[in-house]
Amino acid sequence: MDRIENLILRSLSHSEGFSRKVIPFIKPEYFHDNAERVLFEEIAQYIVKYNSNVTVQALSIEVEQRTDLSDSDVKTIRTILEDFDAVTGTDEWMIDSTEKWCKKQAIYNALMESVSIANGDSQTKAEDAIPSILSEALGVSFDSNVGHDYIENAEDRWEYYHQKEDKIPFDIDLLNAITKGGLPNKTLNIALAGTGVGKSLFMCHVAASSLMQGKNVLYITAEMAEEKIAERIDSNLLNVNIKDLSELPKQMFEKKIDAVSKKTQGSLVIKEYPTASAHSGHFKSLLNELKLKKNFTPDIIFIDYLNICASSRIRAGANANSYTLVKSIAEEIRGLAVEFNVPIVSATQTTRSGYGNSDVGITDTSESFGLPATADLMIALISTEELEGLNQIMVKQLKNRYNDPTLHKRFVVGIDRAKMRLYDCEQAAQDDILDSGDDSEEKSSLKDKLAKLSF
């Protein structure tokens, strides 16, 4: 009875359609028999180099010329080549069978590598790498999509333009305006601010707003305790000054919580991790555990905050510079958003020069410029004595993949620090802010100036 490995090798040699579809996905390490691995390497190399099927005679010559094979391997290969005729059956059946075999081999190899890492035999990978190794193996598939054909796929593109994207809206009008209606799935959204300006307040407010929209919210904190985050959200949702929460009678507190629960179908889970100890691998495990134990799947995730997370790819104490480390963390968290199909909201600190700056820029991002390069939306939260006196905070767009970042580039929102809330300001508050509204007049003026300079 033919082994599947033998059928794959014979099909690669005789069927051009089969070989072109499967060669990009088969790895030499899937063949555990050395002779079969050598044959695959020679077949794949020949097809790539000469763009045609390999003959048995050519294979025999290539194998005989190799100096890294034992006499036993050469003898085994000769035996295989003696009966190297075409496979009876369709290419479609062989492609499906090969895909199943590749998945099985990938999982087996991943399990063996994971055991090796767990036993301390790996010099390059730590135990934190095991979840990603297994995830990659489980994701093996023959993806037939080789790109978007501009002409042939025009109809698909039209459908994409007119489909309504699933977003989680803000309860602040101008934040909705700059994001075209809210935060889409598979995105990383960052708030940049100095210490004490309101990063956590911003995230707690958006988390509370999302909950009241009936969304499931997961709030991960690596800075403050779970109870402190819950306290801020209580102040926001219960409409109670944060310093008065401890004096609220139990009966009144329970009555207010009951009123909140009747207004939403969503749930809020807050999970605390020690600073600089948790990474995307821990967050994946948490998401899977929540789904298994509580039947909880979040619609939006908050991570407070990104810079004090760990990286699953860079070992602790590996002497990596801050640019590489933070960029790696940002990429892993954005990958988490893509994998679980949710928007993720996080925050980062300004540099020392950006602290107290009334016009924070993207270059004021602390530790790594790789973070804004990875983020889909990045806004700066700016506070000055004048704004504090008006109970306002300025929002400045630094990066925006959802909309034109010059539209409402700067605007103010109201802030009630006592109740951990943000709210819309009247339009009059926006009128004196540079770049606060539509910049069409500015563009028109620039166009007139350029016209005068043209010859």
- Rounded Cα distance between 76 and 86, Å, is 19
My answer on whether 134 and 171 are in the same domain is: no
Contact 212, 170 (CB under 8 A): no
Q: Please report, for the domain that includes residue 93, its CATH number.
A: 1.10.860
Asked whether the whole model's pTM tops 0.75, one would answer no
The answer to whether residue 251 sits within a structural domain is: yes
My answer on whether 112 and 175 are in the same domain is: no
Count how many Cα atoms sit within 13 Å of the Cα of residue 235 in the half-sphere of its side chain.
22
My answer on whether 182 and 101 are in the same domain is: no
pLDDT at site 455: 39
Q: Could you give the angle at which helices 4-14 and 34-50 cross, rounded to 10 degrees?
A: 20
pLDDT string in tens for the chain (455-residue length): 568 998 999 999 888 888 888 898 899 999 999 999 999 999 999 988 888 888 889 888 988 888 888 888 888 888 888 888 877 778 888 999 999 999 999 999 999 999 998 998 887 788 878 887 888 888 888 866 667 888 888 998 888 888 777 899 999 999 999 999 999 999 999 999 888 888 999 999 999 999 999 999 999 999 889 999 999 999 999 999 999 999 999 999 999 999 999 999 999 999 999 998 889 989 999 999 999 889 999 999 999 889 889 888 777 666 777 888 888 999 999 999 999 999 999 999 887 665 566 677 777 776 667 788 899 999 999 988 888 999 999 999 999 999 998 889 999 999 999 999 999 998 878 877 755 555 444 444 444 544 555 43
Contact 410, 395 (CB under 8 A): yes
Count how many Cα atoms sit within 13 Å of the Cα of residue 264 in the half-sphere of its side chain.
19
| Lookup result for tokens 């079969």 | 36
pLDDT at site 109: 93
My answer on whether 259 and 404 are in the same domain is: yes
My answer on whether 263 and 338 are in the same domain is: yes
Cβ neighbors of 172 (< 8 A, separation 6 or more) are 413, 422, 423, 424
My answer on whether 290 and 429 are in the same domain is: yes
Length of the chain: 455
Beta 410-416 vs 421-423: how paired, if at all? antiparallel
Looking at 94, 122, 138, the residue that finishes a domain is 138
My answer on whether 102 and 189 are in the same domain is: no
The answer to whether residue 160 sits within a structural domain is: no
The answer to whether residue 147 sits within a structural domain is: no
- Rounded Cα distance between 222 and 310, Å, is 10
- Rounded Cα distance between 395 and 411, Å, is 5
The answer to whether residue 189 sits within a structural domain is: yes
Work out how many domains the chain is built from and give that number: 2
- Rounded Cα distance between 381 and 161, Å, is 32
My answer on whether 200 and 76 are in the same domain is: no
The answer to whether residue 159 sits within a structural domain is: no
Q: Please report, for the domain that includes residue 279, its CATH number.
A: 3.40.50.300
My answer on whether 91 and 197 are in the same domain is: no
Contact 372, 399 (CB under 8 A): yes
The answer to whether residue 74 sits within a structural domain is: yes
Contact 222, 276 (CB under 8 A): yes
Contact 311, 277 (CB under 8 A): no
- Both tokens of 308, joined, read 């004090």
| Lookup result for tokens 């698909």 | 156
The answer to whether residue 153 sits within a structural domain is: no
Looking at 117, 138, 159, the residue that finishes a domain is 138
pLDDT at site 440: 47
- Rounded Cα distance between 214 and 195, Å, is 31
Range of the domain at 267: 167-446
My answer on whether 183 and 39 are in the same domain is: no
pLDDT at site 194: 86
Looking at 120, 138, 156, the residue that finishes a domain is 138
pLDDT at site 454: 47
The answer to whether residue 144 sits within a structural domain is: no
My answer on whether 174 and 316 are in the same domain is: yes
My answer on whether 378 and 239 are in the same domain is: yes
- Both tokens of 352, joined, read 């020392």
φ, ψ of residue 218 in degrees (nearest 5):
-115, 125
- Rounded Cα distance between 427 and 222, Å, is 37
